[in-house]
A and B are shown apart, each in its own frame.
Chain A
Amino acid sequence: MTGFLRWLRSHPPAALSLLFLVTLFVLAIMAPVIAPYSPTKQDVNNTLAEASWQHWLGTDDLGRDVFSRLMYGAPITLYASFLAVIVGCVLGIPVGLLAGYLGGRIDDAISRALDALLSFPAIVLAIGVTGALGVGLTNGMIAVGIVFSPQLARLMRAQTLVVKQELYVDAVRCFGASLPRIILKHVMPNAIQPVIVQVTLLLAVALLSEASLSFLGLGVQPPQPSWGAMLARAYNYMEIAPEQMYAPGLAILFTSLAFNTLGEALRVALDPTRKRR
């Protein structure tokens, strides 16, 4: 733990990103307690107002407090991002482990399937799935997760190929450990690091996908606030109140930047070739 803190101190961008994300999580959880207004409280006589002491980020087209809506939008946005990544992990990691460990024909078959799935642009498949299952955030993000899974599976497979050659894996195999036990207890923990890096980076991709789906009206449904949906509304007022699109856009930009920066920093920190140098 102290090692981690020391690492953070020597990596200001990573520390800053982590701080930002932790703050975001706290705001997301605490929104009902600390948000200055209800996200649905309307004031028809004070619409599209500019920033003021009463409304730090102004009000939207129905006179709702933009700052409060951003706060209430955070949990939905984070939920969507994590949902997609978790789906990706649940599907991708076991498949990658199996393919890498078992090798041979199974590996071949799985690799072809992964190639096929990797050819789908994430948003396009997500739109296809919402078309079939119906509009809604959960459906769309599960589809995004499905598109993520082959990336994680490939990474897991590559790592597993390396780890299974290690002596200690041979050793436990000789002691007659069962296959699930070998994979879960010995291979996976030693192969998971790059996956963690990738997961952090994918959170940013998932965040952008959620924003896109909600912008297209295929994601979050009203009156739930979401950053993408707020941008969709701001789009209607581009001529009259262009400043409406800044706050949600910047929120998306900074959050995805934070995930990316943290992921890149982790990649460098965990990269074995760097350590050696």
Chain B
Amino acid sequence: MIRRRVVQIIPVIVLATFVVFGLLQLVPGDIAVTLAGDNATDARIAQIRQSYGLDRPFLVQYGTWLWNAMHLDLSRSYLSNEPVFDQIMHRFPVTLLIVGSALALSLIIGVPFGILAATRPGSFLDTAVTSVASLGVALPNFWLAMILVATFALSWNWFPATGAVALSRSPSQALLHATLPAIALAASGVATVVQQLRSALIEILSSQYVRTLHAKGLSPAAILWQHGLKNVSVTLLTVVGLLVNRLLGATVVVEAVFAIPGMGSLIVHAAVHKDFPVVQGVVLSMVVIVILLNLLIDILYTVLDPRVALK
């Protein structure tokens, strides 16, 4: 099973890389001319075309690019001439910290409330939790980020308003800097966890199987802990996969609000400045993270639920 999944993701990764590389083909006009910039002579344009391999057929360019990417060579930034891979590795820890914290917050807050709501469907608590969750999903995270900055950083001075500190430099400072961005990101994450967990649990708890257990005289708490949550862990895994994808997108805007030098601000800056290797590099690394995480989740499914493996 695991081997089959691993084999299956190869075409997915290839297709995703194809899309990433294809971005370059969207550039209107001759990209070599765009790159050459100021006072470009024909010779300079030709030189650029050759050095970036733009004169070769598309598939050859793609193949070379993919081969290099597999060897962690994502070419160099047009702007700074630094290796793109180094730039990404430099910024990845910052983004990882806030996305990771946001994910943790989403689960820590979302799971208990999801369970509470699901075990008392229709109650006041359930209504309150689901209403807040709907708000959380609809909330623009960067707007929440702005409100958090205005309140907790600018008015009350509890947290820093901008920037990031590496965990390796000062763990406490790093967490302090990551708190507000992580909360801003986690709002929709908490809401998603609550919604998905609640509906999955309600479905399980109302199933024929659980009703039989009730009839057998098992206490509701025992049913919840022994059967409900075990089944629900699969849902939770799916939600984590979904959340990481969403958080990686959302972090781009939240990083802008807090001026955090992470992957998000890297790609925004690169997109505005037409620094294509960096744009491609960031998109590629985010996609690869999502794909590999989904693979990991699929593998965990089989561990948690052996029936999946048999299918």
Contacts of B147 in A (CB 8 A): 245, 249
Binary per-residue interface labels of chain B (130-167) against chain A in the complex, 1 for a CB within 8 Å, 0 otherwise: 00001101111011001101100010000000000000
Give chain A nearest CB distance to B59 CB in angstroms: 18
Report yes or no: A253 in contact with B143, Cβ–Cβ below 8 A.
yes
Contacts of B268 in A (CB 8 A): 127, 216, 218
Q: Is B296 an interface residue (CB 8 A)?
A: no
Q: Is B294 an interface residue (CB 8 A)?
A: yes
Q: Is B279 an interface residue (CB 8 A)?
A: yes
CA A46 to CA B289, docked complex, whole Å: 50
Give chain A nearest CB distance to B210 CB in angstroms: 16
Q: Which of A121, A132, A254, A261 is close to B23, meaning CB atoms less than 8 Å apart?
A: A132
Binary per-residue interface labels of chain B (57-97) against chain A in the complex, 1 for a CB within 8 Å, 0 otherwise: 00000000000000000000000000000000000000000
List A134-183 residues whose CB lies under 8 Å from chain B.
134-135
Report yes or no: B249 in contact with A124, Cβ–Cβ below 8 A.
yes
Report yes or no: A116 in contact with B12, Cβ–Cβ below 8 A.
yes
Contacts of A48 in B (CB 8 A): none
Contacts of A7 in B (CB 8 A): none
Given known pairs A127-B252, A131-B279, A242-B150, the reply for A257 and B138 (CB within 8 Å) is: yes
Which of these binds chain A: B48-56, B101-109, B219-227, B280-288? B280-288
Give chain B nearest CB distance to A17 CB in angstroms: 10
Q: Is A95 an interface residue (CB 8 A)?
A: no
Residue of B nearest to A133 (CB): B26
Given known pairs A113-B15, A131-B276, the reply for A121 and B249 (CB within 8 Å) is: yes
Q: Is B256 an interface residue (CB 8 A)?
A: yes
Could you show 27 A-B contacts with beta carbons less than 8 Å apart?
A112-B8, A116-B13, A119-B287, A120-B16, A121-B249, A122-B249, A123-B249, A127-B279, A128-B20, A128-B23, A128-B271, A128-B283, A131-B267, A131-B279, A132-B276, A133-B27, A133-B28, A211-B143, A215-B256, A231-B142, A234-B146, A235-B146, A242-B150, A253-B140, A254-B138, A259-B138, A260-B134
